[in-house]
Amino acid sequence: MTSRSVLDLAPVVPVVVVEDAADAVPLARALVAGGLPAIEVTLRTPAALDAIRAIAAEVPDAVVGAGTVISPENVRDSVAAGAQFLVSPGWTDALLDAMKASGVPFLPGVSTTSEVVALLERGVAEMKFFPAEAAGGTAYLKSLAGPLPQARFCPTGGITPALAPSYLALKNVGCVGGSWMLPGDAVAAKDWSRIEGLAREAAAVRKV
């Protein structure tokens, strides 16, 4: 799998914060059943690596990745847990080197033109645009397409079901990341059928 194929797995990549590792497998199964196989588990909680490990072992149709990867140690631990792709909110030379050496696809985070150019200079053309809405949204990404047509993005941050189609309509956007299909009350109630339904709605998002 390549980073480009991560961008093309589904129009929406769920960005998941797992507080209880026991929820990881049923949550992932609900997302996959709803048509969202690429799942980004953020490294924001102590349960994250166990969640990645469980999904990788027990949900074969899921493509589980690690998000909020901010250090070489995060890269090492995520891959060891079974992460099939890596996503960072930003990047440094050390982090980029570790991701490139990891053997799995990765989407380094950018929010400025200079960061995009620097990644292209390093041979990386697929990236995360974060925080998407705060950093300029669709207007900013559209303005990048002219001078930097080789760059392709997964915008994440502040994207809603109403905004997603306008992002997906951009020729330099492969997919969007979001968490609207994972409302806190549904996760707390372990209402996996509701999450599956919301995932199905997200998977049906189309370009405007």
Residues recognised as catalytic: 40, 128
- Two structure tokens written together for 149: 């047509």
CA distance 15 to 27: 12
CA distance 38 to 4: 13
DSSP, res 156: B
For every residue of 44-102, DSSP letters joined together read TSTTHHHHHHHHHHH-TT-EEEEES--SHHHHHHHHHHT-S-EE-SS--HHHHHHHHHS
Three-class DSSP category at 167: helix
Residue 158 gets the label, from left (phi > 0), alpha (psi -120 to 50) or beta, of: left
